[in-house]
Amino acid sequence: MSSITYNHIKSYRVLAYAYFDNKCQRCGKTKKLRIHHKDENSSNNDLSNLTLLCSECHGLEHRKGSRPKKGVNSECKKCGHSWLYTGKNPMASCPCCGSKIKINKIKKND
């Protein structure tokens, strides 16, 4: 991470992209990036309240508190991303890095 401050750059968006090296802070993707406000207050643009997430990880962050679905807890061995797989195919793709993953039906989440 760089030592850029608000004195050097006035836009919090430009600052956040530079500070977080233009990559998702969860999975490392560099495309379809979004600024996420940790406290969900879009007026609080302090750098300590911001993080940079790809669109997939940003969507997952906002769905954290929603009602749990039935499915299989899955984790990608390549990027470490965890998610709830709700499909029927025994092979799936990681939503973050696209790696093919064999779904283990033993870890059922009811």
Measured CA to CA in angstroms, residue 56 lies from 13, 25, 92, 96 at distances of 19, 12, 15, 7
Residue boundaries of the structural domains of the chain? 12-62, 71-109
Vertex 38: Cα angle to 82 and 56 (nearest 5): 40
Structure confidence at residue 51 (pLDDT):
93
Specify the pTM: 0.54
Structure confidence at residue 48 (pLDDT):
92
CB 51 within 8 Å of CB 38: yes
Q: What's at 42, amino acid-wise? A: S
Structure confidence at residue 1 (pLDDT):
46
Q: Split the chain (110 residues) into runs of 10 and give each run's mean pLDDT.
A: 51 89 91 90 89 88 64 78 74 80 56
Distance (Å, rounded) from C-alpha 105 to C-alpha 57? 24
Structure confidence at residue 108 (pLDDT):
41
Following DSSP, what letter does each residue of 44-55 receive, concatenated? Answer: ---GGGEEEEEH
Structure confidence at residue 81 (pLDDT):
77
